[in-house]
Structure 1
Amino acid sequence: MPFAEYSVPENHPEAKRFTSFERVQTPRTGRVLARWCAGMGMLVMLCGFLPWTQNIRSTGTLTTLRPQDRPQTVPSTIAGRIMRWRVKEGQLVQRGDTLVDIAEIKDKYFDPDLLLRTREQLAAKEGSLRENSAKAIALSQQQIALREGLRVSLDKARNKVRQSRLKVLSDSAELVAANTDFAIARQQLDRQEKLYQQGLKSLTEVEQRRLKFQESTAKQQAVANKLGVSQQELINARLELLSLGAEYQDKLAKSESDRRSATAYQFDTEGQIAKMRNEYANLSIRDAFYRITAPQDGYVVRALKQGLGEIIKEGEPIVTVMPSKPQLAAELYVKPMDIPLLSVGRKVRLQFDGWPALVFSGWPGTSFGTFGGVVAVIDNIDSQGQYRVLVIPDPDTEAWPPPLRVGSGVYGWALLDDVPIWYELWRQLNGFPPNFVGKPKETDKLVKADKTENYATAEE
């Protein structure tokens, strides 16, 4: 038996005979150590059955849930030259406050009374349009008068044609009577000549008959000439009737051409007026762009342009403004293998940079300096091999610290299922993923209600 295991009782009779027995003692350290190890082993085994909250660890930064709450650059809508700064970095501004005054650099807009002159040009064009409209109305009335005059003139010409035709008939009847009288006078003259040759009539009677025949001849010729004149008048009346349509048609065509020219000029003027109104509205709006204003309440974070007189281009950013009351959210990045375990409404514990914390990831209730959160958004596409998750404050836990700033670091633990410690150790050693659990319904409804309230506030 080894010496370490040999021992002599104190009441043994041989113990007092030898001095060495008095000096040699059995060591007890091994027994104590063994007992301690056994006790610690039992404690570790018992601790292995304690509950452990599985979690997914991730890091990220603070951002905002609503896009309008994130830092934004205020650009210049038009090109110009910086004339005056009305704010300084770190200053709190209200929506609509003037940040920078700029001056015009395009020669087209140098005239300080350009807006007034454009208004005068617009008024002149509008006056020209009114006068042209009156001209078009006058030409339309002129056409009505010409058509009425044509109707009256045609009636007058038709009456003249009828009068001329009746006169021709009358003159024709007179000519027939004159021809008859001429024939009778000729026969009477012939008989008187025969009787004078026979001595039955005197020379005086013959000469009277000859005078009578000359009068009939002259009357016949006069009536024939009168009939010819009447016929010519009838022809002229018919020609005048025919020419009236052409004459008035020419006048109506000229009046219609003038009216259409006036209408075309009116349409062209209306187009120019619309263009000038557009230009006037653009100038009025452009006049407001000489003062660059704050789009919302916030702090002037950084001036991207310095000094006075610096030239800026259209759309070039000038200052950066951070909204004063953003709705913060933690932007965490999770590995693709862990993203199926997350869902909207999942509880998350967060640690912020600048706030001391004592973290027990498996026992979130015993951690110190961490804050609660709820998963609000999970991206459907990855970002550089990881998925982005937005976490908002948990209304059931302590509020996040007010001094938090956008951009500060965040460490997060997405809380999953509760398992024994021995199972978690076994899972970690074997590289198995955490347990997959369903989406908590009550928390999910709470998050949806909170998001709906946020969106309603954003619309207001």
Structure 2
Amino acid sequence: MLNISNNPVSKNVDLTKYKSGKSIFTKEYYKTFRKFLLAFSFILLIILFLPWTQNISSKGNVTTLKPNQRPQTLQSQIPGRIEEWFVREGDFVKKGDTILRISEIKSDYFDSRLTERTQQQLDVKNLSVDAYNSKVAALERQINALQREKKLKLQHANNKLLQAHLKVKSDSIDLKAVETNIAIAKTQFERAVNLQKEGLKAVKDVEEKRSKFQEANAKLISQQNKYLASQNNVINATIDISTINASYDDKIAKANSDLFTAKSAALDTRAQVSKLETNVANYTRRNSLLYITAPQDGYINKAIKSGIGETFKEGEQLVGIMPANYELAVEMFVRPIDLPLIHIDEDVRVQFDGWPAIVFSGWPNVSYGTYGAKVVAIENFISDNGMYRVLLAPNKNTEPWPEAIRVGSGAKTIALLENVPIWFELWRQINSFPPNFYQPENKADNKTKKEK
């Protein structure tokens, strides 16, 4: 029966003559199967021409649409020591509610009255500034008085100088008159002597002329002394003017020096006042930092530093808080090769972890358990995982997302591209080609309008 012999029986015996042979060799066993294969091939051929939606599948996480709505940690701006907790994990807090109280660990701030004492120093410095300002005002008044007095003294000295000049002029005129009188007296005396020699004049007349000539000489000497004295008065008046200028310039310079010293001291004190004001503001602000408050309404997630008496540095995380009001979003990561295919406002289907779903990636309309989303932001720089981050927001035109979703849960995303036949998609997948590059319709329409 196995036909393994060198002398097969089938060559010598006709098996179709027997009843069992007729039953076996006359039947067509593959007729139904061939019909099935033909129908299957026809259906498969039809399926190959059905539309298929190209897509980019990725994994992501549930996050929030705005950065200020995401989970955050609270830090202290100053190093400190935990003294008291006012909340428990899971508590709801409103904006401004006190979460914990801390104390200082730096010796520079141990004084509980540090702000008050610094304020007292500030008040004293303000009084010093007022005193210096009063001194500056007094010195300015003194300088003005000296300048006025100098002006009056100079006017008086100038008048004396003018009087001296006039006296010199008057004495010079008198001197000229005396010199003229001497010349006349000398001429008369000489004439009288000549006449006396000739016998025309008596000796008495000669003596009288000699006496007048000597008197004229005496007046000349006296007038010369007066003239020299008046010239000396001019010199003295000029010296007085120089003395007044030098004296008052010295006094005014000394007063100005005192004025500048007072102004410098006032400015230095003002600088100290400014520094103390900064210290008071810093100490007041630092005192307010001893209470860690909630920046917004939310829920206490986890106490990172929990022990009473536990110390920490500035900037260390103390407690985590989740904002109460937030708008859900999904962040997905796409490969760099797929990034050009992602556009703003592009439709994406999202499957959330924990929600059952039946997904047909090529036929999103018949998928069950997925939710609509739209691309709202595309990262411009690659992430640490070697992919680009894309932010998705709920599509308001589709069914709303489940209310029980929590930030941080996982999600699977399917970015929908253009429709192609199934045979084309199979051919693309076999050849490992990327999806078709395309532009959204609205962008293409805008480009056409610009070209027109």
Q: Distance in 2 between matches of 1:34 and 1:50?
A: 25
Aligned AA for 2:137? I
Q: Which residue of 2 aligns with 1:322?
A: 322
Instruction: Indicate the residue corresponding to 2:436 in structure 1.
Output: 435
Q: Give the total of aligned pairs.
A: 387
Alignment match, 1:279: 279
The two structures have a TM-score, normalised by structure 2, of 0.73
Q: Give CA-to-partner distance per residue, 1:310-347, whole Å, 9 cap, x none.
A: 11211222112222222222211222232222222221
User: What is the root-mean-square deviation in Å for CA atoms of aligned residues?
Assistant: 4.0
Provide the residue aligned with 1:93 in structure 2. 93
Q: Which residue of 2 aligns with 1:392?
A: 393
Q: Secondary structure at the match of 2:333?
A: strand
Is the counterpart of residue 58 in structure 1 residue 79 in structure 2? Answer: no
Look up the match of 1:289: 289
What is the 5 A alignment of 1:35-184? 35-155=35-155
In the aligned structure 2, how far is the partner of 1:253 from the partner of 1:32? 129
Is the Cα–Cα contact under 8 Å of residues 347 and 414 in structure 1 kept in the other structure?
yes
Distance (whole Å) between structure 1 residues aligned to residue 264 and residue 359 of structure 2: 83
2:346 and 2:71 map into 1 onto residues whose CA distance is: 28
In 2, the alpha carbon distance for the partners of 1:332 and 1:114 equals: 53
Q: Distance in 1 between matches of 2:157 and 2:437?
A: 109
Task: Decide which moves more: 40-49 or 284-293.
Answer: 40-49
Q: In 2 relative to 1, CA 331–157 (structure 1 residues): closer, same or farther, beyond 3 Å?
A: closer
CA distance in 2, matches of 1:338, 1:46: 30
Distance 1:329 1:434 in 2: 25
Checking the alignment, whether the CA contact within 8 Å between 1:345 and 1:443 is kept in structure 2 is no
CA distance in structure 1 between the aligned counterparts of 2:263 and 2:441, rounded to whole angstroms: 74
For residue 206 of structure 1, what is the aligned residue in structure 2? none
Q: Which amino acid aligns with 1:418?
A: N
Alpha-carbon spacing, 1:432–1:240, altered in 2? closer, same or farther (3 Å): closer
Against the structure 1 CA distance between its residues 334 and 153, is the aligned structure 2 distance closer, same or farther, given a 3 Å change threshold?
closer
Structure 2 vs 1, CA of residues 6 and 401 (structure 1 numbering), >3 Å: closer, same or farther?
A: farther
Give the 3-state SS of the residue equivalent to 2:381 in structure 1.
strand
Corresponding residue for 2:410?
409
- Cα deviations by residue, 1:136-174 (Å, 9 ceiling, x for unpaired): 1111111222223334444556677859x979x8xx99x
Change (3 A) 1:146 1:432: closer
CA 1:50 to 1:159, structure 2 compared with 1: closer, same or farther past 3 Å?
Answer: closer
Shift in Å, 1:390: 1.6
Aligned positions of 1:125-274 closer than 5 A:
125-155=125-155, 242-274=242-274
Displacement after TM superposition at 1:427 (Å): 2.8
Once the two structures are superposed, residues 423-449 of structure 1 have per-residue CA deviations (whole angstroms, 9 ceiling, x without a partner) of 32333233333333321429999xxxx
Partner of 1:375: 375
Which one-letter code corresponds to 1:436 in the other structure?
F
SS in 2 for 1:285: helix
Determine whether 1:312 maps to 2:306. no
CA deviation digits over 1:219-278, x for unaligned, max 9?
xxxx9xx99xx99x9688776665333333332222121111111111111211122222
1:345 counterpart SS class:
coil
Q: 1:433 to 1:56 in 2, by over 3 A?
A: same
1:216 is aligned to none
Identity %: 43
Please give the secondary structure, in 2, of the residue aligned with 1:322: strand
- Aligned-partner SS, 1:46: helix
Separation (CA, whole Å) in 1 of partners of 2:149 and 2:52: 110
Q: Which amino acid aligns with 2:270?
A: E
Say which is worse superposed, 151-160 or 274-283, in terms of deviation: 151-160
TM-score w.r.t. the length of structure 1 is 0.72
Q: Which shows bigger deviation, 146-155 or 65-74? A: 146-155
SS in 1 for 2:140: helix
AA at the equivalent of 2:400: A
2:380 alignment partner, SS class: strand
Question: How far apart in 1 are the matches of 2:445 and 2:79?
Answer: 49
In 1: Cα distance, 2:71 partner to 2:360 partner? 34
Change (3 A) 1:366 1:6: farther
Contact kept, 8 Å, 1:60 with 1:330, in 2: the verdict is yes
Letter paired with 2:102: I
Q: Is the 8 A contact 1:119 1:280 kept in 2?
A: yes
Residue type at the aligned position of 1:32: T
Letter in 2 for 1:268: D
State the one-letter code of the partner of 2:243. S
Deviation at 1:132, TM superposition (A): 1.3
Q: Which amino acid aligns with 1:256?
A: N
1:366-419 C-alpha deviation (Å, 9 max, x unpaired):
111111111222223333332222221111111111121222111111112222
Q: In structure 2, what is the Cα distance between the partners aligned to 1:239 and 1:342?
A: 99
Alpha-carbon distance between aligned partners in 2 of 1:36 and 1:242, rounded to the nearest angstrom: 136
Q: Look up the equivalent residue of 1:425 and give its one-letter code.
A: L
Runs of 5+ unmatched residues, structure 1 = 8-17, 177-222, 446-460
SS in 2 for 1:380: coil
Distance 2:16 2:30 in 1: 15
Report the CA distance shift for 1:29/1:264 in structure 2 as closer, same or farther (over 3 A).
same
